[in-house]
């Protein structure tokens, strides 16, 4: 299609620049900044929407920077690397403010100017990821997928990955035992273990591992000092045992008075930005403001990222999680911390909430950290279960706004909303919201 010129009005959720063509049709353009004028080539078009990529920028924003990554124009990640970091934070705040304003809910519209705080910046702008997953395409190329493609950009290092991961990746690609393994692999994950300062590898194989695969893995482990362990996973077989990754959470006064060790199974979920995770935990604990008399319900508790530190002060804690390995880790972390006031159960969160409400259980403080789809249809149960306050951690501001609107209609006040930048160089945004329960007779 013939390139067209567009004025970028704002950046919307998802990272695209919003514009309109001469007919008023919504146009989304990647890799741009507000107030830029760009000539763009359209790659998708229907009656109401078109998407494009910039070919020339005639009015360049002062906040545009040259990306440091040599793969930036090809790789499908790091869609904000062309924006200065200070402006990235502003853009993310503007995205949340825009969603709140367009929510249609008066309280949320007011919150856009009265409650929404500025994002907390990440301590590290690059090399913050504790894990990465590389794909293997049909030509056995190891890397990240190109934008809108199943073809890989070959990657020798990633600027978001922990430097130790990049050192290990370089050593792997120069070892003779690595190539035959990649030929049988769909994807490769590299995990940095802060406790050992070494790397674990997970090869997701097309078929069950053969003796030759295990021999090649042994050669890699023996020859590359940075490798802690290698395990194989696949669609039709379970891994033969899983290693552990762990980090030490320092004391966070006034909430905790001692360091805590948090571990999880390799391949299980943990926040990838471990330094910023400490800021996230501190924020959640501040919002909870738990005392020695408070009972806590932690939904989607995972390996106890919030459960373990908040249980240090609370009277009691119940953690609920649907993923078995996470619950195993949470129980072990609680035991290691010597906590006898915590219980963890494996159950789908919606089912557990329905059961707890049926039992007429109530908790002083409720923490919920759902996946990207949020917690649709759960607001009424959350209201029944919460006595004082609810802290909602979100990784998608669109589903957060939807869920906040529902919660506000079920006897909650919105008191605080704090974005936390867990993922610099990308459009992704983490938020923590504090809601307080209205009196029952309100």
* Residues 235-251 pLDDT 10s: 887 776 667 899 999 99
CB of 275 closer than 8 Å to CB of 123: yes
Sequence-ordered alpha helix ranges (H) in 366-436: 379-385, 397-408
CA distance 429 to 438: 28
**Tens-place pLDDT, residues 99-146:** 999 999 999 999 999 999 999 999 999 999 999 999 999 899 999 998
**Tens-place pLDDT, residues 254-288:** 999 999 999 998 878 889 999 999 999 999 999 99
Q: What pLDDT is attached to residue 358? A: 97
CA distance 208 to 204: 10
**Tens-place pLDDT, residues 385-412:** 999 999 999 999 999 999 999 999 999 9
CB of 54 closer than 8 Å to CB of 2: no
What are the tokens at 33?
A: 């900044």
CA distance 11 to 19: 9
pTM: 0.94
CB of 169 closer than 8 Å to CB of 98: no
**Among 85, 84, 68, 81, CA closest to 124:** 85
Query: How is the beta sheet containing 316-321 ordered, strand by strand?
Result: 342-346, 316-321, 295-299, 363-368, 386-394, 430-437, 412-420
Looking at residue 52, the DSSP 8-state letter turns out to be E
**Among 186, 165, 128, CA closest to 423:** 128
CA distance 353 to 347: 10
The mean per-residue pLDDT over the stretch 354-362 comes to 97
Asked if residue 441 has pLDDT above 70, the reply is no
Helix (H) or strand (E) holding 165: helix 163-173
CB of 226 closer than 8 Å to CB of 171: yes
- Which phi and psi angles does 214 have, rounded to 5°? -65, -35
Q: What pLDDT is attached to residue 101? A: 97
The mean per-residue pLDDT over the stretch 58-86 comes to 92
CB of 217 closer than 8 Å to CB of 229: no
**Among 326, 316, 401, 392, CA closest to 102:** 401
- 144-148, 206-210, 343-347: segment of lowest average pLDDT: 144-148
CA distance 11 to 180: 44
What are the tokens at 183?
A: 């030929």
Report all structural domains of the chain as residue ranges with CATH numbers, in order of start: 1-64 (2.40.50.140), 131-241 (2.40.50.1070), 245-437 (3.40.50.150)
**Tens-place pLDDT, residues 323-345:** 999 999 999 999 999 999 999 99
Q: How confident is the model at residue 27 (pLDDT cuts 50, 70, 90)?
A: very high
Looking at residue 83, the DSSP 8-state letter turns out to be B
Is the CA virtual torsion 209, 210, 211, 212 positive or negative? Answer: negative
């Amino acid at each position: 299609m013939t390139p067209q010129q567009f004025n970028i009005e704002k950046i919307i959720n998802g990272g695209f620049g919003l514009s309109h063509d001469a007919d008023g049709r919504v146009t989304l353009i990647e890799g741009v900044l507000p107030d830029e004028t760009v000539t763009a080539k359209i790659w998708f078009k229907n009656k109401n929407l078109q998407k494009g990529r910039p070919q020339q920028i005639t009015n360049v924003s002062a906040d545009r920077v040259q990306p440091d990554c040599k793969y930036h124009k090809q790789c499908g990640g790091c869609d904000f690397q062309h924006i200065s970091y200070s402006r990235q934070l502003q853009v993310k705040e503007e995205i949340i403010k825009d969603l709140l304003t367009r929510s249609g809910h008066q309280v949320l519209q007011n919150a856009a100017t009265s409650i929404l705080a500025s994002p907390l910046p990440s301590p590290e702008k690059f090399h913050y990821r504790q894990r990465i997953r590389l794909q293997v395409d049909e030509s056995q190329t190891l890397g990240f997928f190109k934008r809108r493609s199943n073809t890989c950009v070959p990657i020798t290092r990633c600027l978001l990955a922990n430097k130790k991961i990049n050192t290990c990746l370089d050593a792997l690609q120069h070892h003779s035992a690595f190539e035959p393994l990649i030929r049988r692999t769909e994807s490769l994950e590299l995990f940095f273990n802060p406790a050992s300062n070494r790397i674990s590898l997970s090869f997701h194989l097309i078929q069950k591992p053969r003796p030759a695969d295990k021999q090649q893995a042994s050669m890699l482990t023996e020859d590359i000092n940075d490798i802690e362990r290698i395990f194989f996973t696949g669609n039709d077989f379970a891994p033969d045992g899983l290693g552990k990754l762990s980090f030490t959470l320092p004391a966070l006064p006034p909430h905790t008075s001692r360091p805590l060790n948090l571990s999880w199974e390799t391949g299980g979920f943990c926040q990838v930005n471990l330094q910023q995770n400490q800021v996230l935990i501190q924020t959640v604990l501040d919002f909870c403001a738990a005392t020695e008399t408070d009972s806590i319900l932690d939904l989607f508790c995972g390996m106890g990222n919030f459960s373990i530190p908040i249980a240090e002060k609370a009277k009691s804690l119940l953690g609920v999680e649907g993923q078995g390995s996470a619950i195993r880790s949470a129980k072990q972390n609680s035991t290691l911390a010597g906590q006898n006031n915590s219980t963890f159960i494996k159950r789908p969160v919606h089912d557990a909430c329905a059961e707890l409400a049926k039992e007429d259980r109530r908790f002083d403080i409720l923490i919920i950290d759902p996946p990207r789809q949020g917690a649709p249809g759960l607001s009424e149960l959350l209201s029944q279960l919460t006595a004082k306050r609810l802290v909602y951690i979100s990784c998608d501001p669109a589903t957060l706004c939807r869920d906040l609107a529902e919660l506000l209609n079920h006897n909650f006040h919105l008191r605080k909303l704090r974005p936390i930048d867990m993922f610099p160089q990308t459009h992704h945004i983490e938020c923590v919201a504090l809601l307080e329960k209205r009196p029952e007779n309100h």
